[in-house]
Amino acid sequence: MMSKNEIAILGLLSESPMHGYQIHQEITRREMDYWAKIKLASIYTTLTRLEEGGLIKSEKEKVGNTPERTVYSITEKGRSGLSDMVEYFLREDDRPEWPFGLGVAFIQGAPRERVLAALHHRREKLTQCDLDLHDHLIKLKEQIPFNWFLLIENAHKHMKLELEWLDQLTAQVQAEPHWGLAWPPELKLKHQKAHEASTRALSTKAA
């Protein structure tokens, strides 16, 4: 299976032949290093691997007095591979890493004031990101292909939901009467009973 870097580069080359620096610029301009975690440092390694696999080809180009450069283009084999990977990624139910989720799961392990400060900091960053996405939508409407526009719109909608949810979490942290306890007394008792029942059921099944 291809890596994210490989499908990103094949996708860009399916739009137009490019040299390495152009690919770097496009990935940066479309912020694919951020939302798709495309590794800029390994672009040339990926190009070499794709060319060795026959998915792309290269030729030298010299324009005027500029230094000679290598221009890459996608092959028919590359287009076929790209088609397969597009279908795979659209179907795939991925589960991205979510370190923030771990922070929320064990949120009672930190002092309330530090948690609130961290959540406030996160909200400021997300708010700025939300504003940036909104500006992108206004600026790029009817200027980019529909799929790229909808990709930005999807991120914008998710960001708004994230901000609403973050406000709910912050309110709960502020109001929680048993701060510092992973399990409030009434819930801890229920949890223990459920755990004991599960243990007995497993023991009975094993016997």
Residue 24 domain boundaries: 4-91
Q: Do 149 and 75 reside in the same domain of the chain? A: no
For helices 4-15 and 20-29, the axis angle rounded to 10 degrees is 100
Q: Do 83 and 108 reside in the same domain of the chain? A: no
Q: Do 66 and 136 reside in the same domain of the chain? A: no
Mean of pLDDT values over 120-133: 95
pLDDT digits (tens, 9 = 90+) for 3-15: 899 999 999 999 9
**Model pTM?**
0.75
Q: Do 150 and 76 reside in the same domain of the chain? A: no
Q: How far apart are CA 67 and CA 48, in angstroms?
A: 20
Number of helices (H) and strands (E) in the chain: give both, helices first. 9, 3
Looking at the structure of the chain, the number of domains it has is 2
Evaluate whether residue 195 is within a structural domain: no
pLDDT digits (tens, 9 = 90+) for 64-113: 787 889 999 999 999 999 999 999 888 887 777 788 998 999 899 899 99
Contacting residues for 27 by C-beta, under 8 A, at least 6 apart: 8, 12, 33, 38, 40, 43
Evaluate whether residue 71 is within a structural domain: yes
Evaluate whether residue 69 is within a structural domain: yes
What single string gives the DSSP state of each residue in 87-116?
Answer: HHHHH-------HHHHHHHTGGGS-HHHHH
Evaluate whether residue 190 is within a structural domain: no
List the end-to-end C-alpha distance of the chain, in Å, as a whole number: 44
Write out the two tokens for 32: 């694919």
Q: Do 14 and 86 reside in the same domain of the chain? A: yes
Q: Do 17 and 87 reside in the same domain of the chain? A: yes
